[in-house]
Amino acid sequence: MTIIVHHLENSRSQRILWMLEELDLPYEVKRYERDKATMLAPPELRRVHPLGKSPVIEDQAAQGVTGSRVIAETGAIVEYLVDLADGKLGAPSKRDAALAYRFWLHYAEGSLMPPLLVKLVVSRIPLVGNRVATQIQPMIDRHLDYVEASLAEHPWFAGDTFTAADIMMSFPLEAARSRAGLDASRPNTMGWLERIHARPAYQRALAAGGPYAYA
């Protein structure tokens, strides 16, 4: 085993397991449970990376490194793994498709995930939480409509080819289906979710990672 994935239950790190399965790279999973009261990551993760967040990977076979190379942030890890696999699942060769790849790769966490996270956090505030969450929903709907229109043109986010951009988009869209109104009224997006969930590598990643509430 050369890559250790520090995997937090029901988190963004599920995408890294899936990515590794798609790339057929050897890895080992170290699982962490959330604090039952706060739902935050346990303090043990700070021993791996100062931020104490997941995902974090350790590449034990990194050249020129004493010990392991530690990498945090989902997008950075995904790009690192694409490089490690000599470009597999990376940007397509055609310019427009490559631009779409880079856009969706960063859009997942930069634009789509923040309002979903805000809605989750404020919905837990007593008395006013649900009202504030309702006010955030139109912003989320705008994003979901944008995604739906894109998937009406192509089966995958970078065009006709499955890429790491699809892996990056999986968690926010799974979260949106769970708690932010993504349903059959957006058939292109729901069809995309069905396609990714049917991939053998996705199913293997679920088996490796343990319980995952959004699949």
> How do 27-32 and 3-8 pair as beta strands?
parallel
80 and 139 within one domain: no
Going by their DSSP bridges, the two strands 3-8 and 56-59 should be labelled as antiparallel
Range of the domain at 46: 3-88+201-209
Within-domain flag for 103? yes
d(CA 81, CA 88): 9
Question: Given 3-state DSSP classes, what are the helix, strand and coil percentages for the chain, each rounded to the nearest 5?
Answer: 55, 10, 35
DSSP 100-132: HHHHHHHHIIIIIHHHHHHHHHHTTSTTTHHHH
* In-domain check, residue 18: yes
Amino acid identity of residue 38, one-letter, is T
If asked whether residues 106 and 181 sit together in one domain, one would say yes
Q: How many helices (H) and strands (E) does the chain have?
A: 8, 4
Global confidence as pTM: 0.93
Looking at the structure of the chain, the number of domains it has is 2
- Whether residues 104 and 187 share a domain: the answer is yes
What is the pLDDT tens value at each position of the chain, 215 positions in all? 589 999 999 899 999 999 999 999 999 999 998 888 877 888 899 999 999 999 999 998 776 677 789 999 999 999 999 999 999 999 999 999 999 999 999 999 999 999 999 998 888 788 777 888 889 999 999 999 999 999 999 999 999 999 999 999 999 999 999 999 999 999 999 999 999 999 999 999 999 998 899 98
64: domain CATH number? Answer: 3.40.30.10
Looking at the fold, whether 13 and 52 belong to one and the same domain comes out as: yes
